[in-house]
């Protein structure tokens, strides 16, 4: 299920001075036989024993003793695609530093403005990446390479890679980017080209399947937390004050839920995974009314994709990445709340949308560490000749996964999970409304 494609048998000795012996206080090379179990439950273990089958395993990430690519003749490229996310520059920096200092690779190119940069017709010149160029970029949000949405001709992009003698392509992006990377890898395989295609999952929404988390996610709710705190002050400062804070989360509500746990002043959190009604005895507006009559203020956190079933749309519109463009649920809620209480209760409503502030910020300390680790593990896998894989943490261990495995579906909050139960306990909102 999680078998990683390999360009060839690695035969070149790694320049890393690591060990193959345990107990000598030197980190050991990782062997391909070093497998990690995917499902750690006792139930799964017992079922495998009963059925006489091996459990589903994952390939452990890390440096290999033998490489596929000769560092002296290797050329690498890096591309960032999709929306901005904290940590992009950290990953770029980590890749460049690892290639340069671990493997002595000097020829590293930055692809400008996403996959557009692999289309010569777009006219974007490559950016030469060196340690001096990237040494300070982790202090800044965004990406020094620029980004874009939308796909390009796969054939054209592979033509560009071949024409420029690029051996490794590191793609940093979300679901659409990774699907594009997999398509590039498939075209490379058809041509028999010696090019490794690597994915580093990037989505602020944390909705990449299988992996524990994506980089930038922790920074997102870290930044959102003080905004929620200040919004609570706004709400509490007025009679029947209501603060609505909209955060990112097109299909999954992990930012909204995590920010709520981090800042327990939130009274209601609304996420795309839940269906809720506005009206009726158990509807959201009636629950909000009871809250105001009792406490005189309320704080509402809503993910951008929540409540779309309540909004009438003339037609479905998609962005350049193929994502459905949602209506502004924050404005919608503000208008509905205002209308609902117009004749019964005077309310003061503050609507705050910090989305672009959050996604453009530099990574916090935790994400910075995570980004560097992802970059290093991606470089190690690529140098060993692995291709069409992503690097991520599963069960808190760094592993390599086929791109196809993580792009089959989006990860969503399980409303029966302990995580969501914790959110409901924090807000005090009904388990179902």
Task: Tell whether 150 is in a known binding site.
Answer: yes
427 labeled binding residue: no
Q: How confident is the model at residue 316 (pLDDT cuts 50, 70, 90)?
A: low
Q: At how many degrees (to 10) do helices 418-427 and 254-262 cross?
A: 50
Q: Is 369 annotated as a binding residue?
A: no
Two structure tokens written together for 267: 């009274």
| 278, 299, 316, 428 from 282: Cα distances, Å | 8, 18, 29, 14
Q: Which of 341, 322, 338 is nearest to 330 (CA)?
A: 338
Q: Is the pLDDT of residue 388 over 60?
A: yes
Q: Catalytic: which of 159, 205, 230, 343? A: 205
The per-residue pLDDT for 290 is 95
Position 315 scores a pLDDT of 61
Q: What is the pLDDT of residue 314?
A: 61
Residues 102, 108 contacting (CB under 8 angstroms):
no
Cβ-proximal residues to 143 (8 Å cutoff; 6+ apart), any chain = 80, 84, 88, 89, 92, 172
Q: Does 83 show up as a binding residue in the annotation?
A: yes
Question: Domain map of the chain by residue range?
Answer: 5-214+363-406, 218-360
Percent of the chain with pLDDT over 90: 91
Strand locations in 40-80 (E): 57-60, 66-67, 75-80
Tens of pLDDT, residues 200-259: 999 999 999 999 999 999 999 999 999 999 999 999 999 999 999 999 999 999 999 999
What confidence tens digit (pLDDT) does each residue in 114-164 have? 999 999 999 999 999 999 999 999 999 999 999 998 889 999 999 999 999
Supply the angle between the helices 154-163 and 175-191 in degrees, to the nearest 10: 60
Class of the domain covering 5-214+363-406: alpha beta
The 10s digit of each residue's pLDDT in 97-109 is 999 999 999 999 9
Q: Is 177 annotated as a binding residue?
A: yes
The answer to whether the 5-214+363-406 and 218-360 domains have the same CATH topology is yes
pLDDT of 317 above 70:
no
Distance of alpha carbon 429 from alpha carbon 333, whole angstroms = 17
* 218-360: CATH class: alpha beta
Across the chain, mean pLDDT equals 95
Binding site annotation covers 95? no
pLDDT recorded at residue 318: 61
Determine if residue 175 is labeled as part of a ligand binding site: yes
- 340 annotated as a binding-site residue: no
pLDDT at 320 over 60: no
Q: What is the mean pLDDT of residues 414-429?
A: 96
249 annotated among ligand-binding-site residues: yes
Q: What is the pLDDT of residues 54-72, one digit of tens each?
A: 999 999 999 999 999 999 9
To the question of whether residue 291 is assigned a binding role by annotation, the answer is no
List pLDDT tens digits, range 260-295.
Answer: 999 999 999 999 999 999 999 889 999 999 999 999
For residue 343, the model assigns a pLDDT of: 87
pTM of the model: 0.94
Contact (CB, 8 A) for 374 and 215: yes
Number of Cβ within 10 Å of residue 346's Cβ equals: 10
Residues with Cβ within 8 Å of 82's Cβ and at least 6 positions away in sequence, in order, are 114, 147, 149, 173, 174, 176, 177, 202, 203, 321
Q: Can you tell me the mean pLDDT for 347-375? A: 95
Is 335 one of the catalytic residues? Answer: no
Q: Per the annotation, does 237 bind a ligand? A: no
Which of residues 296 and 326 earns the better pLDDT score? Answer: 296
Rounded Cα gap, residues 382 and 169, in angstroms: 9
Cβ proximity of 245 and 300 under 8 Å: yes
Distance CA 4, CA 60 (A): 11
């Amino acid at each position: 299920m999680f078998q990683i494609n390999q360009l060839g048998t690695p035969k070149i000795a790694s320049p890393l001075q690591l060990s193959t012996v345990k107990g000598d206080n030197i980190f050991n090379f990782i062997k391909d036989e070093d497998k990690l179990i995917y499902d750690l439950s006792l139930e799964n273990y017992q079922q495998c024993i009963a059925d006489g089958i091996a459990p589903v395993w994952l390939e452990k990430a890390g440096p290999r003793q033998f490489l596929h690519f000769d560092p002296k003749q290797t050329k690498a490229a890096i591309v960032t695609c999709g929306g901005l996310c904290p940590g992009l520059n950290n990953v770029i920096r980590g890749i460049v530093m690892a290639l340069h200092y671990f493997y002595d690779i000097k020829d590293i190119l930055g692809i400008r403005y996403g996959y557009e940069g692999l289309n010569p017709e777009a006219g974007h010149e490559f950016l030469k990446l060196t340690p001096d160029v990237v040494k300070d970029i982790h202090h800044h949000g965004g990406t020094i390479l620029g980004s874009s949405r939308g796909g390009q001709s796969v054939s054209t992009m592979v033509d560009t890679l071949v024409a420029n003698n690029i051996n490794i392509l590191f793609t940093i992006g979300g679901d659409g980017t990774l699907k594009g990377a997999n398509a590039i890898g498939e075209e490379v395989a058809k041509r028999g080209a010696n090019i490794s295609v690597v994915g580093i999952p990037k989505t602020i929404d944390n909705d990449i399947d299988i992996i524990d988390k994506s980089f930038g996610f922790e920074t997102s709710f870290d930044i959102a937390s003080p905004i929620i705190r200040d919004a609570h002050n706004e709400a509490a400062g007025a009679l029947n004050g209501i603060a609505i804070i909209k955060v990112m989360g097109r299909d999954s509500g992990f930012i909204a839920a995590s920010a709520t746990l981090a800042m327990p002043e939130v009274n209601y959190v609304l996420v795309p995974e839940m269906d809720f009604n506005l009206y009726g005895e158990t509807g959201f507006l009636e629950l909000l009314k009871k809250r105001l009559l009792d406490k005189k203020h309320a704080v509402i956190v809503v993910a951008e994709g929540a409540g779309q079933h309540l909004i009438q749309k003339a037609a479905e519109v998609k962005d350049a990445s193929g994502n459905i463009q949602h209506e502004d649920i924050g404005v919608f809620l503000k208008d509905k709340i205002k209308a609902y209480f117009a004749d019964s209760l005077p309310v003061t409503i503050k609507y705050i949308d910090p989305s672009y502030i959050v996604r453009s910020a530099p990574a916090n300390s935790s994400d910075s560490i995570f980004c560097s680790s992802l970059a290093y593990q991606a470089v190690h896998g690529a140098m060993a000749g692995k291709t069409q894989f992503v690097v991520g943490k599963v069960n808190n261990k760094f592993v390599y996964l086929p791109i196809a495995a993580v792009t089959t579906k989006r990860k969503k909050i399980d409303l029966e999970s302990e995580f969501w139960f914790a959110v409901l306990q924090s807000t005090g909102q009904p388990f179902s409304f």
